[in-house]
């Protein structure tokens, strides 16, 4: 009797241990990602939110100020509104141009049969160049005296302007430089175009549907999810615009390219007011989140998903 009991105990313990191991195994496998997420995403997020409620100099005493940073920014800081307005202006031009030009390039690459691989690489290449290298190239292109752009304009008799010195042109120059990296967006749309079954176009061709209608009623709706994705990522990257402006114009001339991200950057690393900069980051986060949610909501009217069944579509699968 005793022997049986003594023999059974380790067996139960073993079973228990193996059950724990079985349950723990999946979590162990994903633990590197979870740790990364906790330390590099969620942690800084919570930390910056906390920071935004403090007067937080880099060196010295931190003081809890509640919502003061937010109140001051919105009520008493004209630079906040100016930088936000410049960013909104930039986004309003950059986002549609980025999508339309990427789409047209993708369409062109989709339809050419000659050296398509070469052109695909050529158009994508600028988007893998680092921001600093890109700015160096563009500062040379935009240079008033020896810039490539003005040199080319001189061939058609135009005396090129001071692109980076004119408050009205500087933002245009930054938009053009930013559009140079549209290769990523183009590649996403090109993939989307390639995924549209060619029979849809053939069926339309046989039915006498003209080319423009095929584009409008087949290509664009079929690209809906990709267009939505690029729309949202373009908005995010427009609001995060910092590198090009910081290195190319330093926010000038006369603050005409002083983007919201630069406003946050200056508060953090020029004025060392980390709490105020964190509050700015959270304002940017809320604006981008609100815009993205708005676009997502609006997209219900024009984005079609293959697997999705909507309430008014019918009665489900036959």
* Among positions 49, 88, 209, 242, the unique one binding other proteins when judged by CB under 8 A: 209
Please state the closest distance from residue 23 (CB atom) to other proteins, in A.
Answer: 38
What mask, x for binding other proteins by CB under 8 A, covers residues 35 to 74?
----------------------------------------
Residue 7 or 314: the one with the smaller Cβ distance to other proteins is 314
State in Å, rounded, how far the first CA of the chain is from the last one.
64
Is residue 314 near other proteins by the rule CB under 8 A?
A: yes
Contact present, 218 and 196 (Cβ < 8 Å): yes
Q: Interface with other proteins by CB under 8 A: which range of 100-108, 110-118, 145-153, 219-227?
A: 219-227
Is 228 a binder of other proteins (CB under 8 A)?
no
**Residue 54, helix vs strand vs coil:** strand
Stretch that binds other proteins, among 61-69, 85-93, 201-209, 281-289 (CB under 8 A): 201-209
Residue placing its CB nearer to other proteins in the complex, 145 or 313: 313
Structure tokens at 199: 């029979």
Block residue for tokens 């590198």:
243
The string of DSSP codes covering 229-279 is HHHHHHHHHHHT--HHHHHHTTT-STTTT--HHHHHHHHHHTS-BHHHHHH
Q: Binding of other proteins at residue 199 (CB under 8 A)?
A: yes
Binding residue (CB under 8 A) for other proteins from 131, 210, 211, 294? 210
Could you say which residues in the range 237-266 bind other proteins, by CB under 8 A?
none
Q: How far apart are CA 112 and CA 109, in angstroms?
A: 5
Q: How far apart are CA 58 and CA 276, in angstroms?
A: 12
∠ Cα 81 291 303 (to 5°): 155
Quote the least distance from Cβ 298 to other proteins, whole Å: 17
269: tokens are 């690393």
**208: which DSSP letter?**
T
Closest approach, Cβ 209 to other proteins, in A, equals 5
Binding site for other proteins (CB under 8 A): 197, 199-200, 202-210, 213, 217-218, 221-222, 224, 304, 306-307, 309, 313-318
């Amino acid at each position: 009797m005793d022997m049986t009991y003594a023999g059974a105990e380790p067996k139960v313990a073993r079973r228990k241990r193996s059950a724990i191991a079985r349950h723990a195994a999946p979590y162990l496998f994903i633990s590197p990602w979870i740790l990364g997420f906790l330390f590099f995403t969620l942690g800084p997020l919570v930390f910056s939110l906390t920071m935004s409620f403090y007067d937080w100099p880099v060196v010295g005493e931190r003081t809890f100020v509640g919502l003061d940073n937010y109140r001051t920014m919105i009520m008493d800081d004209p630079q906040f509104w100016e930088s936000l307005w410049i960013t909104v202006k930039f986004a309003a031009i950059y986002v549609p141009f980025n999508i339309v030009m990427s789409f047209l390039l993708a369409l062109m690459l989709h339809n050419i049969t000659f050296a398509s691989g070469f052109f695909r690489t050529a158009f994508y290449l600028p988007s893998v160049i680092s921001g600093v290298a890109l700015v160096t190239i563009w500062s040379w292109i935009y240079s008033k005296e020896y810039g490539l752009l003005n040199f080319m304009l001189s061939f058609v008799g135009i005396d090129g302007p001071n692109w980076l010195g004119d408050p009205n042109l500087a933002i245009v120059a930054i938009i053009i430089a930013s559009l140079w990296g549209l290769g990523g967006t183009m590649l996403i749309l090109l993939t989307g175009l390639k995924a549209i079954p060619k029979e849809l176009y053939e069926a339309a061709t046989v039915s006498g549907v003209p080319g423009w209608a095929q584009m409008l009623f087949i290509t664009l709706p079929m690209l809906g999810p990709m267009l939505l994705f690029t729309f949202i990522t373009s908005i995010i990257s427009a609001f995060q615009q910092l590198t090009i402006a910081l290195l190319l114009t330093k926010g000038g001339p006369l603050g005409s390219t002083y983007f919201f991200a630069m406003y946050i950057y200056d508060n953090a690393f020029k004025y060392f007011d980390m709490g105020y900069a964190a509050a700015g980051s959270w304002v940017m986060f809320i604006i981008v989140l609100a815009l993205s949610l708005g676009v997502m909501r609006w997209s219900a009217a024009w984005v079609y998903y293959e697997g999705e069944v909507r309430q008014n579509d019918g009665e489900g699968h036959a």
